[in-house]
Chain A
Amino acid sequence: MRLSRDEDIEVPLASLIDIVFLLIIFFVVTTNLQKDVIDRQINLAKSYFIPPLEEGLPMNTVTINLGYKPGQQTRYVIGGANYSLRQIEQMLSVVREKNGNDVPIVIRADRITPYREVQKLNDAIGRAGLYKVSHSSEYIQRKSE
């Protein structure tokens, strides 16, 4: 059926704005969540065979970012804030008391970090009584797949 010329065609603005607001809320929330856990300045080592995470990490996972630049002090970052190794040990001890000693720890270390710096963090984790440690890497999909 053809519309007559004097009929107005109106775009449903109210529902359009609803959708756009939902999109904005989504972007704001996801941006903040990622900022809290992941330090974007860290260049992870690349891996090709370690299977990538398909499901999210367990809720109680503690992610420790280890930023290293030659000539600068090593940064240990949790939730976007810098901590000393002593503070991390104290925090992890509290975590162990509350949630047990099988709390997963993820170390996100810069690929150029000398292992002695990683070992300092390992020692702090061990002193806090935690043992479930994994190292994070950037998964690169091979072209043949």
Chain B
Amino acid sequence: MARRLRSEKTEVPMSAMIDVVFLLLVFFIATKKPNIPEAHVAINMPSPNPSTSTDIPPPPLMEVHVLPNGRYMLLGRARKSLDQFEELFIDIALNNPDSTVIIKVAPDATEGDLVDLLDRASKANLHNLNVMMLAGG
């Protein structure tokens, strides 16, 4: 086989490469899923070592129960809708924005039920949210 002369140019087949590269680009653009905007709400977890000190006065507390099927209760009274809770949260936040809300969630209530309530608390600018499971629920 004859050896190539030094003066010969080796050419890369550009048009074929561009075809492949464009196909790859089209593939990635077509398969890219849009980013879903996510929101995070911070909750306070029950302390593993509860403090026994009684020197510090407890902050104002409010207790809400999240029950299955999107039902919510406040201090044993049944509340009909999240809108009523929203009004209550706004009233509480106006009086004391540092108020603590203790949210007790029934084992059969769903994450969606909890997030709905957290969403309304967030609207009222209540940020001290303690979440725990409802005992014997």
Cβ contacts B22-35/A at 8 Å (1 or 0 each): 10110011011101
> Could you tell me the distance in whole angstroms from the C-beta of A106 to the nearest C-beta in chain B?
6
The answer, among A31, A40, A53, for a CB contact under 8 Å with B39, is A53
- Measured CA separation A109–B35 after assembly (Å): 17
Residues B14 and A13 in contact, CB atoms below 8 Å apart: yes
Residues B115 and A47 in contact, CB atoms below 8 Å apart: yes
Residues B133 and A115 in contact, CB atoms below 8 Å apart: yes
**B109 contacts partner chain A, Cβ-Cβ < 8 Å:** yes
**B42 contacts partner chain A, Cβ-Cβ < 8 Å:** yes
Q: Residue on B with the closest CB to A66? A: B111
**A116 contacts partner chain B, Cβ-Cβ < 8 Å:** yes
Q: Most chain-B CB neighbours within 10 Å: which of A27, A50, A109?
A: A50
What residues of chain A lie closer than 8 Å to B40, measured between beta carbons?
50, 53, 106, 134-137
- Measured CA separation A125–B44 after assembly (Å): 12
- Measured CA separation A133–B122 after assembly (Å): 16
Contact size range, B: 35 or more
**B73 contacts partner chain A, Cβ-Cβ < 8 Å:** no
What residues of chain B lie closer than 8 Å to A24, measured between beta carbons?
21, 24-25, 28
Cβ contacts B11-23/A at 8 Å (1 or 0 each): 0001001100110
Interface residues of B in 84-128 (CB under 8 A from A): 105-116, 118-120, 122-123
What residues of chain A lie closer than 8 Å to B46, measured between beta carbons?
126
Contact size range, A: 35 or more
The answer, among A27, A115, A141, for a CB contact under 8 Å with B108, is A115
Q: List 17 A-B contacts (CB under 8 A).
A: A27-B25, A27-B29, A49-B119, A50-B39, A50-B40, A50-B119, A113-B111, A114-B108, A125-B45, A134-B43, A135-B40, A135-B41, A135-B114, A137-B38, A138-B36, A138-B37, A138-B39
Which positions in B face A, CB cutoff 8 Å? 14, 17-18, 21-22, 24-25, 28-29, 31-33, 35-48, 66, 105-116, 118-120, 122-123, 133
If A27-B28, A115-B105 are given as contacts, then 8 extra A-B residue pairs at C-beta distance below 8 Å, sorted by A number, are A31-B31, A46-B112, A47-B115, A52-B37, A113-B111, A115-B66, A116-B133, A125-B45
